[in-house]
Structures are given as structure tokens and as C-alpha cells.
Amino acid sequence: MKKIWQWLVLLGTVLLTVGGLQQIAHAESVGYTVNAVLPKNQDDASASYFALRVKPNQQQKLAIVIGNESKRSQKYEVNVNQAVTNANGVIDYSQAKPELDSSLKVGIKDVFKETKLPIVTVPAKSTKKVYVEYKMPAQKIQGMILGGINVKKVDTAKKSDQKGVTI
């Protein structure tokens, strides 16, 4: 019976030691939010992204809201990007100048007036509404045009090209 207790104490000590070595990582927030302002012609009301049902020659302004959660004014780059499939077969909305397949008849650049918007400045702890405008071609399109509005914080930290040692 004494041996069983010794084994249980040893096992408990090992488990407590291993459990105590666990590292806890806290994810850092990106410091900003982006939300779509969904229009009336939104196809899926439960979606938080644009899924629009459109007609030939339809023209519309879409709005997104950029929220700056930091204590300083921030600048953001806004691009409307064509969706492409990456090397892993996953849909990628982040490429501003992707290599497009020759079979693509109508893409994002054919529909949106501007795909690269001017830099947007959002004051500290506030939001700003940004608009992108599209116009559909005159002919009806079979299928979907897939793309995304990509928002990236502009790094305003000055980078030094000088090399050396600081003491």
C-alpha cells in the first residue's frame, strides 16, 4: 500500500510540473476594425461581407467603416482586389496585382472605378466611412465576380538605412 502512495505522489508531482511548464501566449490585436455597411441588394443578410445580387448597368456605392482602436491617428491603404486561387488552392483576396487567368472575361478592375483608393486617415479612437463605387457591364454575366476590399494599416515608423552599433 505504501508503494502505491509513493507512485501516486510521484505521478502527481510529474503532472503538476509538466502542467506548470505550459507557456501562455496572448495574441495582440491589429488595432483596427473593418465592417461592411450592407446595402439593400445584399443577397445573404446573415453574412458580414458583401454578397450582392446585381443587374447589368447597375451602379452603386458600397461603404465600409474603418475603426481605429489606437490612441493615435492612423493611416490605412484600401484596395479592391480580384479574388484568385493561391498555390494551396485557397481563395486569396489580398493580392493587389495578381496574375490573372486568360479565361477571365470580366474582373474586378472592369467593374470598380478605382481599385486603389487614396490613403485614408482615421483619427484616434474613432471610425471613418470609406466608399468604393462599381458599375456593372451592360451585358448580363453568367456566374459571379469574386473580389474583396483589402484594408492595411500603413506603417508610419521611419526606417533607418544606416548600419552601425549603438552603445
Any domain includes 45? yes
pLDDT in tens, 3-19: 776 767 666 666 666 65
Any domain includes 27? no
Percentage of the chain lying above the pLDDT 70 cut: 79
Any domain includes 7? no
Q: Is the pLDDT of residue 167 over 50?
A: no
Angle in degrees, CA 63, 66, 70, rounded to 5: 170
Q: How confident is the model at residue 156 (pLDDT cuts 50, 70, 90)?
A: confident
Q: What is the mean pLDDT of residues 85-107?
A: 90
Q: How many domains does the chain have?
A: 1
CB atoms within 10 A of CB 86: 11
- Look up the domain containing 137 and give its range: 32-153
Q: Is the pLDDT of residue 139 over 90?
A: yes
95: domain CATH number? 2.60.40
Any domain includes 20? no
Any domain includes 82? yes
pLDDT in tens, 46-70: 999 999 999 999 999 999 999 999 9
Q: What is the pLDDT of residue 101?
A: 86
pTM greater than 0.85:
no
Query: What strands lie across the sheet with 126-135, from one edge to the other?
Result: 32-37, 59-68, 126-135
Nearest to 67 by CA among 22, 34, 26: 34
